[in-house]
Amino acid sequence: MKLRWTGGNRVRLLENGEEFFPAVFDAIRRARREVILETFIVFEDKVGRELHAVLLEAARRGVQVDVMVDGFGSADLSPEFVTELSQAGVRLRTFDPSSRVFGVRINVLRRMHRKLVVVDGELAFVGGINFSADHLADFGPQGKQDYAVQLDGPIVDEIRAFARSAIRAAELGARRERAERQPVPGRAGSGPVEALFVTRDNLEHRNDIERHYRLAIRSARRSVLIANAYFFPGYRLLRELVRAARRGVDVRLVLQGEPDMPIVKTAAGLLYSHLHRHGVKIHEYCRRPLHGKVAVVDDQWCTVGSSNLDPLSLSLNLEANVMLRDAAFATHLRERLDDLIRHQCREVTLEDAGGWAWWHQVRTFFVFHFLRGFPAWASRLPRHAPKLELPPSVESQAHQAETSRAR
């Protein structure tokens, strides 16, 4: 199915857990018919417990609640947490669960990394924020900086249809990691925003998110501003950034200066010299770990979602971003990122990037050839038919319902 821009939407930027969690929890509390939630991580901390409570409350008043969590990201949910949800009628599914081997989780590759919430087919949330307390400032120095959007309008129909088909595809045992993108009958919308919902999977939509990034950068005439937590993109995207800077576009990157994993900064740093040499400005966010995955081009086009610009997100994981065309919203997002740059970032200098030393040029040469080939080698990494596991009590209920229908 060819992706299409959908007009008539309204969008609200949600920065960090302080804005995201109250908006999502309030929407679930007001749900009348249906809640669909997909997330990489749910932890049993104060955020996870509040999510648990609002889902229980919704299910007990008759709302159909479907939740999908990832088997790697949400591996430590207690039996009590899961059982209470399932007994209330919440259909909690785990994407590709796996037992630990000598205490180590081995289901690392091809994760369900999307973060989506759809309520009553009327409101949707898309972004990079997990349901965990480390997305709140009071978590301390490791509290993450991140973004999501709240959407209402015709694009919600497409997001809902995708989320429902993702559940059906996995439950049917299909040997695929994707959901069908079926056409959705359009409905009128009164908002000013054009939106495009873009996902990646490991079959038909392997590079859709990266391709839309490249198209936007290629069309840039004035500015490109990307804030991305895990930055180690493919050769083609790097080439578009360099070409944009060479033709006079103001190209700025906001990357991690205080990473949650040291290898993140090390990997991105391998690219600094090349990018800096060609006019790309690099800013490291130093207040706390950056977890955002957002970009703005020419104050007209922007994206918010779950996809990092690294091999895992661009070549392995299941991801979801929303692309938006609206001058007012794009300007607002750019202004928030500008504020971040002015007050909480440091600009990387040529000396920081390695200068012109010959070993940095040799290192860059090998990194570039590695990046040129990573989509090919990533496709050779282990692929499996993803499982979607229901808790035992829910499996029993589903079996009983199926038996009843067969009669």
Active site residues: 113, 115, 120, 291, 293, 298
Q: What is the DSSP letter of 146?
A: -
191 Cβ partners below 8 Å, 6+ apart?
8, 9, 10, 11, 152, 153
Cα distance between residue 254 and residue 213, in whole Å: 16
- The pair of structure tokens assigned to 30 is 């007001």
Nearest CA-CA partner of 171 in 16, 349, 388? 388
Task: Calculate the CA dihedral of residues 393, 106, 367, 250 and round it to 10 degrees.
Answer: 30
372 Cβ partners below 8 Å, 6+ apart?
234, 235
376 Cβ partners below 8 Å, 6+ apart?
none
Cα distance between residue 195 and residue 215, in whole Å: 15
Nearest CA-CA partner of 71 in 97, 93, 92, 48? 97
Nearest CA-CA partner of 364 in 256, 275, 252, 241? 275
172 burial (CB, 10 Å; 0-12 / 13-18 / 19+) is exposed
131 DSSP β-pair partners: 42
- The pair of structure tokens assigned to 52 is 């648990």
Phi/psi at 70 (5° precision): -90, 140
Handedness of CA 185, 187, 192, 193 (dihedral sign): negative
Q: How many CA atoms lie within 13 A of 112 on its CB side?
A: 34
